[in-house]
Structure 1
Amino acid sequence: MSEFFDVDGEARRALDLLGPAPENWVLARAGIDHDVFVVGGGQTGCAFAFALRRAGIGRVSVIDAARDADGAGVWLNRARMNTLRTPKTLVGPEIDVAGVGFRAWYEARFGRDAYRSIERAPRKQWAAYLAWYRAFLDIPVRYGVRLARIEPAGDHFRLHLDANGEARVETARKIVLCNGIAGNGRAHLPDTLAHLPPALLRHTSQAIDFAALRGKSVAVIGAAASAFDAAATALEAGAADVHLFARRDALASKPVSRTRGYPGAYDNYHSLPDALRWSQARRFRREGSTAPRDSIERVTRFANFHLHLGATIGAARVEANRIAVNVRGTAFFADLVIAGTGYVIDVPARPELVDIAPHVRLWRDQYTPPTAEADAVLGAHPYLGEALEYLEKTPGAAPWLRDIHVYNPAGFVSAGVPVGDVPSMKRDIPAVVRRISRDLFHADLDAHAARLNADIPADFDEPLYAASVWNPQEQQQPLIQD
């Protein structure tokens, strides 16, 4: 018997076993275009659309600034790893419907033995799975639409959009920000590099023409996974040499976040005391972000790869259309510098958040750590509620903030996982959907109370059972005899 099967048929069967998606129960409001507005049409935006549908919440709109599906998300763009960094066994966009999960899709395409042989999902196959997921579940995404500004308007928001070059305004009651790793901030460039011309400096978040690096010298700044992946891609494209500069004296190798991966800690992380959540975030910062072993092996097999440890970057300058990078008094020349220097959380830096940023409670507003545990980077993260909603800096000043849910890495200190990645999906997508459902229900409680108390016609009338009603006077014998 063949081990391959029809993934669409199996997925359809899994959905059938759950029963049909509920009809939309949210009451329409005059002047409101969308009950939920999802910003970002990648893996998480589509997963939210599916989860909201299963919760009976309609009028959901998903937008993405990319021109088409291939440009949405990271997997066919700035992601350069060969495999995902998370184990294949983690629950992803399928949430609780295994038939639309990666494993079901992969086994249908490549067989059960093939699935057993992999430790993590290959990146391009993960992208193909997400394309199938979006198409099979018929999740509409409006491409070429960018959120330019969120304007609070009482019990809803006015959303200023750039829709393929056309300015327009739409309204929504709830917003979910699934807008990626820089969704509450920006890419980080060290001051020593920020002045360099774009033709000679790229951040790992940007498009890079690796084919043009054949025979060229490349300097990579940073030692997290994205830096190693960029270095490997340059080497595989035929770069003459690649020098990677790491600040630490040894590469970070302890993935400390695994200590909180068991259900007790994972499921209850939001309820931990602030001091403990802060100390966990500080521990991660001290140990550093680790690159997977295979990312390091991918570059070390090249003799023309050179790792510089304890390398603090000094002044960088342009000489003869090349970059001279100063490290401990030695100048290294490169045709291109790639900054794998991560991101910073900086809510006011996002143009669409300008109107709301002054009201957002940050961790530095909520918690004052011991002096030895102070950390300005972590303090800039928003202090989020249990459904990843913004909270007010000043109680009562901006109650509408609770209607914006932050499903991007800005939730790291609050949630303990890289929000937006696969590890966060099983816990946080259902939590956000439950809160959205509760809020929308209670906002129209009078109408729902009327619906709950509505008259219901009888399914049947008395003639259905009248002949079977016991009448002792009609009985010839008593039920119990001596």
Structure 2
Amino acid sequence: MNADLLASESLRLLGDDPAGWVPPTDGADHDVAVVGAGQSGLTIAYALRRAGITRVTVLDAADDEQHVGSWAAKARMLRLRTDKNLVGPELGNPALGFRAWLEARDGAQAWTAIDRAATADWIAYLRWFRRQVRVPVRHGVRVLSIEPDSSGRLRLRLDGVDTVEVARKVILANGVEGTGGPRIPAEVAGLSSAVFAHTGHHVDFAALHGRTVAVLGSAASAFDAAATALEAGAAEVHLFSRRADLAIVRPGGKPPALALFDTFHLLPAAERWRRRFAFTASTPLDSVLRATAHPNFRIHLAAPWQRTAETGGQVEVTAADGTHTYDFVIAGTGYQHDPATRPELAGIASKIALWRDVYEPPAESRSEYLGAFPYLGPGYQLTARDPDDGWLSQIHVFNAGASQSFGLPVGDVPSLRSGVTRLVDAVTRDFVLADPPRPTPPAPPSRDEYAHAVWTPHAEPVATGEAA
């Protein structure tokens, strides 16, 4: 059976979507606005519909409906970094899963032959998944600001449709940029776009043909950018790591039990901070080998950058191992998640509780980076610095900004299995408590259908005299 028929049959057997049960609210255009139509946004919208929450709008800034999140635009790895066996957007329906799609297209041997999905295949699968679950997406719509109205609902000012819409809840499912944006170290912050880009930016790799390139950082995105530049014909690529050795994930290692991630948010704040502070970003072996296969690639170990200077269209880099000159610099330095740096949250950022507002770590584990993450409740909801701003709990963060509170990159494949269910359960609970479902009043009493079957005792004559 082909993938479309298999998915269609599984959805038929699942039954019709439940009827919407959340009562309409005066002044609200939507019960839920989902921001982002990547793998998380699509999965969340589908799960909400299956929970009977139907007044949902999905907003995506990308004009092209062929884009599913940032995979096609910014994912430069050849294969996903997660194991093929992890549950993804299918949420328990195997007919909607990557394996069913791949085997229907290429045969069972295609699944056996891989340990991780090819990125191109994952993009194709997500496009197919979107068609199967039929989640409408409004493309070319960017949220410019979110603010409360007088009733605690959320006003969204939208670019692309030039209007304001009101939602009772907002779910931020906008990927790796989450509640912040690219993390730009001070050493490169003064460089112009003519000689500098972050891996989260669009990079014209074709323009790097024949040029010398420096990559700052040694995690997976840095190696993937270095390899992409080399494959585009860069003359030389030098990657700089502050570490004395690389942290490489080699095949055969045993991944952590998923239960550790499922329960991370239940740990005390001190323990969550300790684990996140000790976390070290690593790189899959195949990403390292992809870059080191090129003879014009060099790795600088124990070489943090001290400063850069842009002169004559080039960048002079002063690092711990000396001074070097390059034509272009790429920062593979990850993302920060301070809501004040996110345009749609900037106007309310001062009201959002951050980790630094809630927890004071020991001196030896202080971190401005970790402290700027939003401090989330168990349903991925924002929390407020002031109890009077309780409306903030109507904004749920299902993106990388939730990582400090939930312990893994929220929005990545491993987070979907239990995370989407937990999120939708929280949204459902909130709507039930706010508007308890009203049962349909019973019809007026009538015995038309069963009057003939009602038993009634008949009066019997009372026996008199002595017993025989």
Q: TM-score, normalised by structure 1?
A: 0.90
- Deviation at residue 18 of structure 1 after TM alignment: 1.6
Amino acid at match of 2:422: A
Q: 2:94 — aligned with what?
A: 98
Aligned with residue 347 of structure 2, among 346, 355, 361: 355
Aligned with residue 23 of structure 1, among 19, 24, 31: 19
Aligned with residue 31 of structure 2, among 32, 35, 38: 35
Query: Does structure 1 residue 245 correspond to structure 2 residue 240?
Result: yes
Conserved 8 A contact 2:249-2:284: no
Q: 1:315 — aligned with what?
A: 307
Q: Indicate the SS of the match to 2:294.
A: coil
Q: 2:466 — aligned with what?
A: none
- Deviation at residue 253 of structure 1 after TM alignment: 3.4
Aligned with residue 233 of structure 1, among 206, 228, 231: 228
Amino acid at match of 2:181: R
- Percent identity between the aligned chains? 44
Amino acid at match of 1:432: L
Structure 2: distance between partners of 1:59 and 1:51: 13
Cα RMSD of the aligned pairs, angstroms, is 2.2
Distance 1:301 1:472, change over 3 A: farther
Gaps of 5+ in 2: 461-468
- Deviation at residue 268 of structure 1 after TM alignment: 2.1
Structure 1: distance between partners of 2:369 and 2:108: 44
Q: TM-score, normalised by structure 2?
A: 0.93
- Deviation at residue 267 of structure 1 after TM alignment: 2.7
- Deviation at residue 461 of structure 1 after TM alignment: 2.3
Distance 1:116 1:157, change over 3 A: same
Q: 1:300 — aligned with what?
A: 292
Q: Indicate the SS of the match to 1:135.
A: helix
1:43-82 equivalences under 5 Å are 43-82=39-78
Aligned with residue 368 of structure 2, among 361, 372, 376: 376
1:179-328 equivalences under 5 Å are 179-253=174-248, 261-284=256-279, 288-328=280-320
Structure 2: distance between partners of 1:456 and 1:9: 45
Q: Indicate the SS of the match to 1:51.
A: helix
Conserved 8 A contact 1:260-1:266: no
Conserved 8 A contact 2:173-2:397: yes
Aligned length: 457
Amino acid at match of 2:37: G
Q: 2:449 — aligned with what?
A: 461
Distance 1:121 1:460, change over 3 A: farther
**Residue deviations 1:418-443 (CA, integer Å, cap 9, x gap):** 10101111111111111111111221
Q: Indicate the SS of the match to 1:30.
A: coil
Q: 1:138 — aligned with what?
A: 134
Query: Does structure 1 residue 159 correspond to structure 2 residue 156?
Result: yes
**Residue deviations 1:262-292 (CA, integer Å, cap 9, x gap):** 24423322211112111111110xxx20011
Conserved 8 A contact 2:249-2:285: no
- Deviation at residue 59 of structure 1 after TM alignment: 1.1
Distance 1:186 1:263, change over 3 A: closer
Conserved 8 A contact 1:159-1:172: yes
- Deviation at residue 76 of structure 1 after TM alignment: 0.5
Conserved 8 A contact 1:64-1:72: no
Gaps of 5+ in 1: 475-482
Structure 2: distance between partners of 1:159 and 1:434: 24
Conserved 8 A contact 2:147-2:155: yes
Structure 2: distance between partners of 1:17 and 1:460: 36
